[in-house]
Amino acid sequence: MNRLILALALVPALVTTGAMAQTVSDDVTKALWCGTALTIAFSNAPPDATPEQLAEAKIYIDGGNVLIDQSGQAHLDAGFTAEQLTTIKADLVTEITPIVTGEGDPSTAKFTFEDCVALLPAPAAPADTSSSAQ
C-alpha cells in the first residue's frame, strides 16, 4: 500500500519534469529567432520604398516566414503545445522588435543579419548584386 501511495505521489513530479524537458536544437532556436527578426525588419517598408526595394523586402519576409514555419513545426514535433509555441513567438517579437527597429541595443541581438540570411532557403535568398562578374 505504501508503494502505491509513493508511486501516485511521484506521478505529478514526473509529468512536470517531462514537460520541462522539452527542448529543440540550437539550429531550430536560431531559425525561429532569425525568421522573426527578418520578418519584423522587412515588414515596415518606408512610404517612399521603390518597387525593387519592396520586392527585395518580400524575399526576406517570405524567407523569414519559411524559417518560422519550419522551426515552429520542429517545436511541435519536440512536444511543445501550440499554446507554448505561441508564447515563445510572442516573447521573441517583444525581444526582437526594439533591436531591429533601432529602438533597442543592437548588441543584444543573438544573431547577426548575415547569420540569419545564411539560413534562408536557397530560392528565397536574395541575389548578391555586389559583384559584377561578366
pLDDT tens for 91-113 read 999 999 999 999 999 999 999 99
| pLDDT confidence of residue 45 | 87
pLDDT tens for 25-70 read 999 999 999 999 999 999 988 899 999 999 999 999 999 999 999 9
| pLDDT confidence of residue 51 | 94
Reduce the secondary structure of the chain to three states and give it as a string: CHHHHHHHHHHHHHHHHHHHCCCCCHHHHHHHHHHHHHHHHHHCCCCCCCHHHHHHHHHHHHHHHHHHHHHHHHHHHCCCCHHHHHHHHHHHHHHHHHHHHCCCCHHHCCCCHHHHHCCCCHHHCCCCCCCCCC
Average pLDDT, the chain: 83
pTM: 0.76
- pLDDT bracket for residue 122 (50, 70, 90): confident
Domain parsing of the chain, residue ranges:
26-124
| pLDDT confidence of residue 70 | 97
